Amino acid sequence: MSSPPVAGVRPKHARPVLLGLLLSVFLAMLDAQVVATALPRVLADLGGSGFAWITTGYLLASTISAPAYGKFGDQFGRKPVFVTAIALFLAGSAACALAPTLPLLIAARVLQGIGAGGLFVSVISILFDLYPGRERARVMGYFSVCFAVASLAGPAVGGVLTDLLGWRSIFLVTVLAGVLALAVVVRYLRLPKPHGRAVLDWPGLILLSGAIGALTLLTSWAGSRYPWLSWPIGLLAIATIVCGIAFVAAERRAREPVLPPRLFRDGTFRVATSVSVIAGFVFLGTVNYLALFVRAIGVTSASVTGLVLSPMMLGVVASSMLSSRRIAKTGSYHRYPAASMALGLLSCALMSIMDASVPLPLVAGTLAVFGLAAGLNMQVLGLAAQNTAPPGDIGAVSGAITFLRSLGTAVGISVFGSVFTATPDHVSALHHVALTAGVLLAVGFAVSLSLKSIPLSTKEHS
């Protein structure tokens, strides 16, 4: 990893600062993965009911807080908001390690999630301040590596730490690594502070949180905890609609809206957010079902299942890194989202006709294509939206892209879950999941074709 000149950082400190930022994001990604394997031991030690909130509370808090952090960064400065986010994340991690009861562990996970929601948004916004467009494209490719490594290593790391040192060690390791990342960034990162008086859009924040929270719970519970036509799901649907409408009305009147309506007048922002929702829906929403897909076509060994799935994550890393370097060289990014949707559509079409007679190398190859498709849009959509946004709205733009992708993921998991459970035969059910994903990818392909070609800058921001 080279260390080019970076605005706000001395040349010799450029690499440590970047590594500190990447480490903080990696910890948030990893934490969402490692806890799953420790849940049986947690329940054996703490007992109680409502253990699903150990995961749901974290995801809900991180999703709700993301857009708020983006706007706070625009108003108060990126560095103090980042420091606040990682401090809350580490405080939550320490509280998780010390929690004596399940309710307190859930509360600590919520605190952890509130901090995690700001890490990715803050870091993406900080990179905008540090690097010109093309160099930022190269740097952002490393986030795909973080995602892939966290996804692949998370369950294994969680299992090893739980077996050797107990489940509380998972959170203690996070604290130790996070303190290192925080110390490096605090010591060496220097960013200008925004001018003017900050005005908080409290009505917008509250209404947006209500809408996101209700929708996240609706998509998490519908079809699993409650039937789709039950009264709890109906109330959540009403709450989502009412809070959403009230939020739009409040933003039109707000002096400094948390999600400025003017952003949607920009065609690039509209395309980027729309494709982000679809990408989250398909590429992240189907992850839970790909292992089931491999099992359903005849693989019975867990280790072989892992080997068959690993090309997918390698595809994510390869396409993300290669596209990042190409974008950094040419400044052009507009073709990658369409290529992502097209490759995803091809892989879903293949998965929709596979059965137990298909050779495993072909299955692995198909999943590798799916991974290549996912990696082609991971950082491109954020770059595109930032490229046409005013500097004062970069945090709001980053927050919007992040939370819309998260919402797409939540809705995708719920919809695919309903499709899966509605069909008794698992192989047929997974074919239906692939066909549903294919339809959405076709829509995403059509939308992404309208992304304009606006080259990334090679100059630093003024």
Q: What's the pLDDT at 1?
A: 44
Q: What's the pLDDT at 6?
A: 57
Percentage of residues in the chain having pLDDT higher than 90: 22
Q: What's the pLDDT at 110?
A: 92
Question: What would the pLDDT profile of 392-445 be if each residue is shown by its tens digit?
Answer: 788 888 888 887 888 888 788 778 877 777 776 768 778 888 898 999 999 999
Q: What's the pLDDT at 11?
A: 61
What residues contact residue 126 under an 8 Å CB cut-off, 6+ apart? 21, 78, 79, 82, 189, 191
Residue type, 132: P
Tokens 């919402």: give the residue. 407
DSSP 8-state assignment for residue 460:
P
Distances in whole angstroms, Cα of residue 433 to Cα of each of 303, 310, 366: 24, 21, 15
Question: What would the pLDDT profile of 263-283 be if each residue is shown by its tens digit?
Answer: 888 889 999 999 999 998 898
Mean pLDDT over 361-372 rounds to 89
What residues contact residue 183 under an 8 Å CB cut-off, 6+ apart? 20
pTM of the model: 0.81
Question: What would the pLDDT profile of 216-264 be if each residue is shown by its tens digit?
Answer: 788 777 777 788 889 999 999 999 999 999 999 999 988 888 888 888 8
Distances in whole angstroms, Cα of residue 94 to Cα of each of 20, 160, 181: 19, 20, 16
pLDDT band at 387 (very low <50, low <70, confident <90, very high): confident
Residue 32: CB atoms within 10 Å: 18
Q: Is the per-residue pLDDT at 2 higher than 50?
A: no
Q: What's the pLDDT at 460?
A: 58
Q: Is the per-residue pLDDT at 3 higher than 50?
A: no
Q: What's the pLDDT at 457?
A: 67
pLDDT band at 352 (very low <50, low <70, confident <90, very high): confident
Residue type, 168: R
Higher pLDDT, 36 or 383: 383
Question: What would the pLDDT profile of 324-342 be if each residue is shown by its tens digit?
Answer: 888 888 888 889 999 999 9
DSSP labels, 167-224: THHHHHHHHHHHHHHHHHHHHH---PPPPS-----HHHHHHHHHHHHHHHHHHHHBTT
Higher pLDDT, 181 or 48: 181
pLDDT band at 462 (very low <50, low <70, confident <90, very high): very low
pLDDT band at 378 (very low <50, low <70, confident <90, very high): confident
Q: Is the per-residue pLDDT at 4 higher than 60?
A: no
Q: What's the pLDDT at 47?
A: 76
> Alpha-carbon distance 376 to 369, whole Å?
11
Mean pLDDT over 378-403 rounds to 84
Angle at CA of residue 416, ends 274 and 306, nearest 5° = 105
> Alpha-carbon distance 373 to 426, whole Å?
25
Mean pLDDT over 152-170 rounds to 78
Question: What would the pLDDT profile of 444-457 be if each residue is shown by its tens digit?
Answer: 999 999 988 888 76
Q: What's the pLDDT at 109?
A: 92
Q: What's the pLDDT at 340?
A: 94
Q: Is the per-residue pLDDT at 8 higher than 60?
A: no
Q: Is the per-residue pLDDT at 197 higher than 90?
A: no
pLDDT band at 104 (very low <50, low <70, confident <90, very high): very high
